Structure 1
């Protein structure tokens, strides 16, 4: 496939990917709902800051209502709770034989499929560190896993080409026949990140805190049990090993995985999650309803209890709505829920 690459959502993920594609010689067109960001890119280019590379790349940028034309290669890089609206808006711009790569957090592929057709959706998993700083500026702060795969696990000409393209961003990018396993692995890990966002402490500091590791382990076990009930085998990445959080896993393996996740996060200049940044810096809603609520709903349909995950959603909502502040006490609340759940099972 040829022609410009359309990157819909020019924030942390989309900006980092798009800039790398441009640096590799591809033409990229950005779309973003933030008019000031679009104006800044058109006036001065998109500046990438951070330890991986520093550069300002030139590209055309549009708001959704300004975009014209159809594109064979589309990367959707918006927040999970904006997926449905963005998918409907981009659908007319996807060429007949084009595709949409869901470079997002969460299980957004089925939502995109409703707008463009399942045959035109490609699964993607990303775990690199990046933040939108200001109009025209994105901070690419740390390397992380990048994985692509067809939703049905087949190896096609297009997925091979997409994998080659993603290797121009991350040389260690993986082509998998189990993209759902990676997406569910990220859901388990992402649930831990939501827990770290209940406090102002960094990701690494929370994961390293022995006081909260038992609760975090129980949280991961809940989500892993949902994946297992759904027939999904979660995959490991960046120090997170789902097998270390399976029922009956040796304590030493769980400790090892925690320690490796801490080490991975300490290597990144991105100390806090995008979830925390949404709450503490940008003062906006997180992706909790798009990422974590579907886990609870899926668990309910499968008859799997997820009391900690449900309580985590409530705590995030409380913080979003100003009913509680970011504090370690929120982790103590969640730990109390874990003890109560364990007592109820006993």
Structure 2
């Protein structure tokens, strides 16, 4: 199976390298030229625990360099780059190509469907972790980390089964879901638990989980999401906000920083529109107020405006 990753940062490189070691024909596509050149020159260095190995994988700075279409395109760019990224991936998308998002939040699947057709799109969520240690070098967290994939309409198709088998054969624990939208909402609750609050406060998880007032805020934000999902008829497995709050910090050290906080500290835009903003958008469709998540979105947007090259900023 030829698999192309559109976005090969820490997570894309970790999953792509693991699939390559499992026998897949993998291409990592990313504009980070130093990363691409290091991979092509020396292979992708993957550190797992204290053991380092090399994955033989091809890296490119553009889809045009791949030379042919892919069986599977996995999108792992920052949420706000999704539309531009899939348009740039046109050279590798053929009639039978499956396009799948493993990004955090909700809404990417709709953007992908608008660009390539809903029949080509699958969705998924992964708990695999990765840290980019330097160009061509990642710390990977694959063992025991679950990935869930599924068709948008809930069907259990041959193509979904084939992708699942490829992932599992490489050592990525992958389950098929006939309710991928519910799975995506469950993961969203976990992102809602800490993402925006840590971005606003600048706190790592050690601080977040030390202040009861922040816990109350997080639980209120999660509760809004649960109520919106239930009102929309989504089948979710997380119905107690405290469960999502607990799951969010499971196995993570006190110094852990959410991706939203890391983005702000790096002077980049966040994915707040696809996390807390998803709760707000779905709530608006149902005429349900979401004051906690709306406030978090507004505050994060204010910080983006102050600290980044915010679109339209004077």
Q: Same fold (TM over 0.5)?
A: yes
Per-residue CA deviation, residues 139-183 of structure 1 (Å, 9 max, x unaligned), is 324753310111111111111111112224555422110100011
257-266 or 223-232: bigger deviation: 257-266
- 1:198: which partner in 2? 200
1-structure distance, mates of 2:92, 2:38: 23
CA distance in 1, matches of 2:117, 2:50: 36
Q: Does residue 43 of structure 2 align to residue 45 of structure 1?
A: yes
SS at 2:201 equivalent: coil
Aligned equivalent of 2:239, options 230, 238, 243: 243
Q: What TM-score do you get using the length of structure 1 for normalisation?
A: 0.80
1:140-289 matches, cutoff 5 A? 140-141=140-141, 144-168=145-169, 171-194=172-195, 195-203=197-205, 205-207=207-209, 209-235=211-237, 242-245=238-241, 254=242, 258-266=245-253, 271-280=256-265, 282-289=266-273
Q: Which moved more, 1:256-265 or 1:141-150?
A: 256-265
Q: Which residue of 1 aligns with 2:123?
A: 123
What corresponds to 2:312 in structure 1?
none
Deviation at 1:260, TM superposition (A): 4.8
| Partner residue, 2:5 | 7
1:14: how far off? 0.9
Query: CA 1:259–1:310 in structure 2 vs 1: closer, same or farther (change >3 Å)?
Result: closer
- Match for residue 329 of structure 1? none
Going from structure 1 to structure 2, the CA distance change for 1:49 and 1:99 (only over 3 Å counts) comes to same
Q: Which blocks of at least 5 consecutive residues in structure 1 are unaligned?
A: 236-241, 246-253, 325-346
Deviations along 1:37-69, one digit per CA (max 9) or x if unpaired, are: 222222222222342863222222111253431
Q: TM-score with structure 2 length normalisation?
A: 0.87
**What is the aligned partner in structure 2 of residue 63 from structure 1?**
61
Structure 1 residue 82 and structure 2 residue 67: aligned? no
Alignment of 1:318-329 (within 5 A): 318-322=302-306
1:130–1:270 Cα contact (<8 Å) kept: no
**Runs of at least 5 residues in structure 2 that lack an aligned partner in the other structure:** 309-314
Per the alignment, do residues 313 and 27 of structure 1 end up closer, same or farther by CA in structure 2, a change over 3 Å counting?
Answer: same
Separation (CA, whole Å) in 2 of partners of 1:33 and 1:131? 17
Give runs of ≥4 in structure 1 deviating > 6 Å: none
Please say if residues 10 and 77 of structure 1, whose CA atoms lie closer than 8 Å, have aligned partners that are also in contact: yes
Change in 2 beyond 3 A, CA 1:53/1:100: farther
Deviations 1:85-115 (A, max 9, x none): 1111213312211201211112211111111
Matched, 1:19 2:17: yes
Evaluate the alpha carbon distance shift between residue 272 and residue 52 of structure 1 in structure 2; reply closer, same or farther with a 3 A threshold: farther
TM-aligned CA deviation for residue 309 of structure 1 = 0.6
Matched, 1:293 2:280: no
CA contact (8 A) 1:52 1:141 kept: no
Alignment partner, residue 294 of structure 2: 310
